[in-house]
Amino acid sequence: MDAARADGDRDTHTDRDTHPDRNTHPHRDTHAVDVAVVGAGQAGLSAAYHLRRRGFEPDPAATRSFVVLDAERSPGGAWQHRWESLRMETVNGIHELPGFAVPPADPRASARDVLPAYFDEYERRFDLRVRRPVQVSSVQREDADPRGRLRIESDAGTWSARWVVNATGTWRRPFWPHYPGAASFRGRQLHVHDYVSAEEFAGQRVVIVGAGISAVQLLDEISRVADTFWVTRDELRWDADEFDTAARIAAIAGVEDRVRRGLPPGSVISVTGLRWNRWAEAAQERGVLVRHPMFERIEPDGVRLPGGVRERADVILWATGFRADIPHLAPLGLRTAAGGIRVANGRALDDPRLFLIGYGPSQSTVGANRAGRDAVRAIASDLGDGVRSPRRRSPAVR
Ligand SMILES: Cc1cc2nc3c(=O)[nH]c(=O)nc-3n(C[C@H](O)[C@H](O)[C@H](O)COP(=O)(O)OP(=O)(O)OC[C@H]3O[C@@H](n4cnc5c(N)ncnc54)[C@H](O)[C@@H]3O)c2cc1C
């Protein structure tokens, strides 16, 4: 008997009586589960872990069932795509997945090697049976019943679920702001999403756009081999070395408030300043941490600053962040006029069958962990489990 089965959650199952359609579905080719988790990064795996802990199984035939669908070919979520120079010693305080620590790793090892291997082991250890590559193209209501099921269409078939936990992250939606003249630029433009290493810019003049931690890290790195020119839209507000707890709570509360009102989440950096960090310090020591105001337009061989000053450029590197990867949720019609989805505590206010985790305030490894746990807690509560915490034991370990 597995630990999840043994922990007693099953005694409280009542949904089979009230939902006789739970494991079968009128459309033969549709797999019916209780919970579909879309995305297997930090947030999705946290949800899957907590589902296991509450007695759900990755098997449509189980009394309580779930499935995890992930578009990647292999485990690791966005970590498998990050640039090589993002090392374990330089990642920004990552938080490990619940219930299993990251095995000791060489601090000089690339995060994109260590973390996907860890995620892989994690999935096997807790028998999460992630299905991949499965690209979800749409989530929609099966009928007008507000307690009815949601249909999940993908390139690998159709699922039907009572709850959808969306954990699709942001990595696949890099944000490129629009500036006049962009199409006329004769040099190279790229987003940090496609950054490989500084060496490819050796000897060139690189304009770096952005006020976040990626911009500062890459400014430090690229300025060692190239001539850099750093621009940001707003003046920078540098926070002290240690981002204190009160500031962090206030920042997260700001993003929480935005998403509750249906505004696009924005990044935590947009509501705080930029934290002073090792790259900023290194760049400052070498005299390259020099911020300029954002350019007004792009020209064939450079950028035009306010006041008419022209700066030559071979490359424009956009370190301008990412947006929530949620176009597949459009059929639910939850988008507000402001462009977001109204979400509170990870749950869509306008359709409580949908959770968005790793979204808005939970867009960090620690936030994603908690959001996965809270979504599952809310689902268990919907099922009548009450608000008690599951017993302190891990899901079945293989
Ligand atoms: C460059 C960079 C560095 C960062 N460094 C840190 C750090 O050091 N510390 C930290 O706490 N946070 C960091 N973050 C924030 C980070 O994004 C989160 O901490 C966390 O890793 C995100 O996890 P996630 O599960 O939300 O998303 P992801 O890891 O992106 O996982 C989402 C998964 O969903 C899949 N998916 C997407 N769309 C679909 C679909 N339609 N159908 C099926 N599957 C889909 C994706 O393929 C992916 O596997 C960083 C972010 C960036 C961009």
The tens digit of pLDDT for each residue in 60-95 reads: 999 999 999 999 999 999 999 999 888 888 776 678
Q: Ligand 1, residue 154: give the atom nearest the CA.
A: 42
Q: Ligand 1, residue 328: give the atom nearest the CA.
A: 41
Q: For residue 131, how far is its CA from the centre of ligand 1 (angstroms)?
A: 17
Do 150 and 30 share a structural domain?
yes
Task: Return the closest-CA partner of residue 205 out of 75, 62, 303.
Answer: 303
Do 359 and 277 share a structural domain?
no
Question: Domain span at residue 60?
Answer: 18-172+323-383
Task: Return the closest-CA partner of residue 64 out of 139, 12, 123, 141.
Answer: 12
List, in order, residues 6 or more apart from 279 with CB less than 8 Å away.
213, 216, 217, 219, 220, 221
Domain count within the chain: 2
Q: Ligand 1, residue 43: give the atom nearest the CA.
A: 25
- Extract the tokens encoding 300: 């064939």
Do 58 and 82 share a structural domain?
yes
Q: Ligand 1, residue 79: give the atom nearest the CA.
A: 29
Q: For residue 353, how far is its CA from the centre of ligand 1 (angstroms)?
A: 22
Q: Is the CB of 360 under 6 A from ligand 1?
A: no
The percentage of residues in the chain with a pLDDT greater than 90, rounded to a whole number, is 73
Give me the sign of the Cα torsion angle 356, 362, 365, 368: negative
Residue 37 DSSP SS3: strand
CB atoms within 10 A of CB 50: 24
* Model confidence, pTM: 0.89
Q: For residue 322, how far is its CA from the centre of ligand 1 (angstroms)?
A: 10
The percentage of residues in the chain with a pLDDT greater than 70, rounded to a whole number, is 86
Question: Is the residue at 197 inside a domain?
Answer: yes
The secondary structure of 323-353 as a DSSP string is ----GGGGGG--B-TTSSB-EETTEETT-TT
Q: Is the CB of 176 under 6 A from ligand 1?
A: no
Question: Is the residue at 225 inside a domain?
Answer: yes
Pick from 364, 370, 373 the residue to mutate for probing ligand 1's pocket: most ligand atoms within 8 Å of its CB: 364
Q: Is the CB of 209 under 6 A from ligand 1?
A: no
For 325-382, the pLDDT digits (tens) are 999 999 999 999 999 999 999 999 999 999 999 999 998 888 999 999 999 999 999 9
Final residue of a domain: which of 288, 318, 348? 318
Do 154 and 123 share a structural domain?
yes
From CA 351, how far away is CA 293, in angstroms rounded? 42
Pick from 45, 81, 83, 92 the residue to mutate for probing ligand 1's pocket: most ligand atoms within 8 Å of its CB: 92
Q: Which residues pair with 189 in a beta bridge?
A: 316
Do 167 and 23 share a structural domain?
yes
From CA 278, how far away is CA 281, in angstroms rounded? 5
Do 118 and 29 share a structural domain?
yes
Take atom 50 of ligand 1 and give the residue whose Cα is closest: 364
pLDDT at 120 over 60: yes
Q: Ligand 1, residue 171: give the atom nearest the CA.
A: 30
Do 135 and 26 share a structural domain?
yes
Rg (alpha carbons) of the chain, rounded to whole number: 23
Q: How far apart are the first and last CA of the chain?
A: 12
Do 225 and 168 share a structural domain?
no
What rounded mean pLDDT belongs to the chain?
88
* Peptide bond preceding 133 in cis form (omega within 30 of 0): yes
Q: Is the CB of 265 under 6 A from ligand 1?
A: no
The secondary structure of 56-125 as a DSSP string is -BSSTTSSSBEEEE-SSSSSSGGGGGS-TT-BTTTSS---PPTTSPPPP--TTSBHHHHHHHHHHHHHHH
What DSSP character marks residue 373? H
Task: Return the closest-CA partner of residue 259 out of 348, 351, 323.
Answer: 348
List, in order, residues 6 or more apart from 304 with CB less than 8 Å away.
181, 295, 296, 297, 298, 310, 311
Task: Return the closest-CA partner of residue 392 out of 124, 53, 127.
Answer: 53
State residue 275's pLDDT score.
76
Do 197 and 112 share a structural domain?
no
CB atoms within 10 A of CB 323: 16
Q: For residue 83, how far is its CA from the centre of ligand 1 (angstroms)?
A: 14
pLDDT at 12 over 80: no
Do 121 and 25 share a structural domain?
yes
- Residue 192, domain CATH: 3.50.50.60
Do 310 and 360 share a structural domain?
no
From CA 209, how far away is CA 319, in angstroms rounded? 6
Phi-psi region of 55 (alpha: psi -120 to 50; beta: other; left: phi over 0): left
Asked if 46 and 54 touch (Cβ cutoff 8 Å), the reply is: no
- Extract the tokens encoding 88: 């374990």
Q: What is the mean pLDDT of residues 111-118?
A: 95
pLDDT at 51 over 60: yes
Do 228 and 119 share a structural domain?
no
